[in-house]
């Protein structure tokens, strides 16, 4: 009997010291074909477990069906059994998905020998509480998930697909700061979301996460024929996501992520100046009197969840020179846009009139800004030739200020935006805009921001590109008028010499004295 007790004691101590020994020797799992079987770690699972032991924060980018969620459940059970008062929380896209890990923990616990078990205080589908004070709980993704929880271990299962995960993480990490652990596990789901940014920042050493990448080939029972079969079953794009753990091939971003990466590497840069009281006006290029500018604005809905945004582009070069993203009130935003447009050579100003955009437009109209964009009142008609400003054309009752985004116009806007961006016809400088484009996706045949993100900069950018052709035509009309005016003045001057103070004709009527130096301005005549 003493030999048995000694053996139990030795095994128990070894389980305490080595999670891998505990899992290999005593944990069972539910296999879909073979029923309950012993959990025998593959070499790659053993390596992942060692990463769990060494690092508090781990982000695991993985192929499908590698048993990492099961491994994490086993690690959670080990922590709960052999350490007192450990609080484990599992968050997933849905409650059913989250409770899967609790179920795995329960199955493993039930299969343990009696001498490893402890008394259970609470046992239901969503939680399991031991007498030693340790517990595991499952939650679906909500903004309050993880808040006010003193967490020992946070498991984010399929983290790339969890709605509102940015808010969840902000709340949860405060409770982990005293020594808790986090396991963020997922296949990729496009780029620009929290999981992708966490992975990239971890690789760059910006955050505390340790990175673990598991390609499909990590599994010893998979070969190239298995991978080829996945292409047939899932399609190449989905297979790249599910098997290759490839960020750029995953997701349904409107703009090709590879193109966006190119912009970020080749064009994007820190602004020359961050202006305004909130420092949210980013400036890369100051006004040039010889250039014409176009400004488009998307007004926040007013519910506090989105932002008012504005883009300033050099009309001819299609170069981004300034950008705003903030939460100004409608009146303040209108005043801000007037100042911005005036500063940039009385730029053509396009303001979306959806939702409370009318309040911003009213401010602009009341203050008499002249170069404001108008469109046909029947906004179902998409007719660029009839879109105009109140400065150069007569206004009639069939024209309304601003631009209306509708179910018909939005696909056209987005299509043009995607084309301009894909063909690299624009010079984008803003990392904020690129980050929004990363998470601007197709969902249910519609385009929208990924859940938990905004698309305010994207929409102001899209409207600007849509209006650009109209703006060029309007500016061309103005240039023709100015050219005719200058030519007429030139003809007059040919007949009537400009006289100097000494009543002698000047040799060059287009020569001006500027800061003590003579400058020939005849180039203005074209």
Domains and CATH numbers, the chain: 16-242 (3.40.50.300), 257-474 (3.30.420.240)
Helix residue spans in 288-404 (DSSP H)? 330-343, 357-366
C-alpha to C-alpha distance for 477 and 296, rounded to whole angstroms = 20
Beta-bridge partner residues of 138:
90
For residue 395, how many other CB atoms are within 10 A of its CB? 13
C-alpha to C-alpha distance for 142 and 136, rounded to whole angstroms = 18
Q: Give per-residue burial for 414-441: e unless 16+ CB within 10 Å, then b.
A: bebbbebbeeeebbbbbebbbbbbbbbb
For residue 140, how many other CB atoms are within 10 A of its CB? 17
Q: Output the six-digit token pair for 484.
A: 């005719």
* Contact assessment for residue 324 and residue 336, using Cβ atoms and an 8 Å cutoff: yes
**pLDDT score for 341:** 96
* Contact assessment for residue 195 and residue 241, using Cβ atoms and an 8 Å cutoff: no
C-alpha to C-alpha distance for 165 and 451, rounded to whole angstroms = 9
* Contact assessment for residue 51 and residue 177, using Cβ atoms and an 8 Å cutoff: no
Cα dihedral 413, 416, 418, 423 in deg (nearest 10)? -160
Q: How far is CA 393 from CA 372, 387, 388, 464, in A?
A: 11, 10, 7, 20
* Contact assessment for residue 258 and residue 312, using Cβ atoms and an 8 Å cutoff: no
Tokens 């904020």 correspond to what residue?
Answer: 432
Q: How far is CA 159 from CA 76, 102, 133, 195, 286, in A?
A: 17, 17, 27, 6, 42
C-alpha to C-alpha distance for 97 and 118, rounded to whole angstroms = 26
* Contact assessment for residue 121 and residue 130, using Cβ atoms and an 8 Å cutoff: yes
* Contact assessment for residue 141 and residue 92, using Cβ atoms and an 8 Å cutoff: yes
DSSP 289: T
Report residues of the chain scoring pLDDT below 50: 143, 379-388, 391-394, 485-486, 488-506, 510, 524-526
Q: How far is CA 14 from CA 9, 19, 62, 210, in A?
A: 9, 8, 30, 26
Ordered DSSP codes for 97-157: HHHHHHHHHHHHHHTS-GGG---EEEEETTEEEETTS-EEEEEE--TTTTTT---SEEEEE
Ordered DSSP codes for 409-472: HHHHHHHHHHHHHHTT-SB---HHHHHHHHTEEEETTEEEEPTT---HHHHHHHHHHHHHHHHH
C-alpha to C-alpha distance for 349 and 293, rounded to whole angstroms = 9
Ordered DSSP codes for 7-19: HHHHHHHHHHH-H
Q: Output the six-digit token pair for 275.
A: 């202006």
First-to-final CA distance of the chain: 108
Q: Return all residues near 512 (Cβ < 8 A) that are at least 6 apart.
A: 518, 519, 521
Closest to 132 (Cα-Cα) out of 189, 69, 87: 87
* Contact assessment for residue 182 and residue 5, using Cβ atoms and an 8 Å cutoff: no
**pLDDT score for 480:** 57
C-alpha to C-alpha distance for 153 and 131, rounded to whole angstroms = 18
The phi and psi torsions of 257 (rounded to 5 degrees) equal -55, -30
**pLDDT score for 193:** 83
For residue 281, how many other CB atoms are within 10 A of its CB? 20
Q: Return all residues near 7 (Cβ < 8 A) that are at least 6 apart.
A: none
Closest to 282 (Cα-Cα) out of 428, 175, 402: 428
| pTM beyond 0.85 | no
**pLDDT score for 475:** 57
């Amino acid at each position: 009997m003493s030999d048995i007790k000694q053996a139990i004691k030795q095994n128990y101590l070894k389980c305490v010291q080595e999670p891998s020994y505990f899992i290999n020797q005593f944990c069972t799992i539910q296999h879909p074909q073979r029923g309950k079987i012993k959990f025998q770690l593959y070499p790659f699972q053993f390596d992942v477990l060692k990463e769990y032991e060494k690092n508090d924060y781990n982000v695991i980018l993985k192929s499908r069906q590698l048993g990492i969620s099961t491994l994490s459940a086993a690690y959670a059970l080990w922590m709960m059994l052999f350490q007192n008062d450990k609080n484990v929380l599992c968050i997933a896209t849905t409650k059913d998905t989250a409770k899967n890990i609790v179920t795995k923990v329960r199955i493993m616990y039930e299969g343990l020998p009696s001498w490893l078990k402890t008394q259970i205080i609470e046992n239901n589908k969503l939680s399991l509480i031991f007498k030693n004070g340790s517990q595991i709980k499952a939650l679906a993704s909500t903004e309050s998930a993880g808040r006010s929880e003193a967490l020992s271990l946070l498991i984010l299962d399929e983290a790339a697909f969890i709605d509102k995960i940015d808010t969840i993480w902000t709340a949860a990490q405060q409770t982990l700061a005293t020594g808790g652990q986090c396991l963020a596990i997922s296949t990729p789901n496009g780029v620009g979301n929290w999981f992708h940014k966490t992975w990239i920042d971890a690789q760059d050493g910006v955050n505390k996460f340790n990175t673990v990448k598991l390609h499909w080939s990590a599994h010893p029972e998979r070969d190239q024929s298995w991978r080829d079969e996945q292409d047939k079953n899932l399609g190449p794009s989905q297979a790249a996501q599910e098997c290759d753990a490839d960020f750029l091939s995953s997701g349904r971003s409107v703009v090709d992520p590879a193109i966006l990466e190119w912009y970020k590497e080749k064009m994007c840069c820190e602004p020359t100046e961050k202006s305004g009281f909130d420092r949210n006006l980013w400036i890369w290029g100051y006004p040039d009197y010889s250039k014409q500018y176009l400004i488009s604005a998307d007004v926040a809905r007013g519910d506090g969840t989105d932002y008012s945004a504005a883009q300033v582009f050099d009309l001819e070069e299609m170069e981004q020179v300034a950008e705003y993203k903030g939460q100004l009130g409608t009146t303040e935003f209108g005043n801000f846009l007037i100042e911005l447009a005036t500063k940039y050579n009385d730029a053509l100003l396009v303001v979306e009139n959806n939702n409370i955009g009318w309040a911003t437009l009213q401010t602009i109209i009341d203050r008499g800004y002249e170069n404001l964009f108008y469109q046909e009142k029947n906004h179902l008609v998409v007719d660029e030739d009839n879109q105009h400003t109140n400065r150069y054309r007569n206004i009639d009752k069939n024209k309304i200020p601003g631009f209306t985004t509708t179910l018909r116009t939005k696909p056209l806007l987005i299509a043009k935006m995607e084309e301009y961006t894909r063909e690299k016809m624009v010079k984008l400088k803003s990392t904020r805009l690129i980050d929004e484009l990363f998470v601007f996706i197709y969902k249910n045949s519609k385009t929208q921001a990924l859940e938990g993100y905004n698309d305010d900069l994207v929409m102001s950018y899209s409207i600007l590109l849509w209006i650009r052709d109209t703006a060029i035509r309007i500016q061309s009309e103005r240039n023709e008028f100015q050219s005719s005016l200058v030519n007429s003045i030139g003809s007059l001057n040919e007949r009537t010499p400009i006289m100097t103070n000494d009543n002698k004709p000047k040799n060059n009527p287009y020569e001006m004295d500027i800061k003590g130096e003579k400058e020939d301005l005849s180039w203005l005549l074209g």
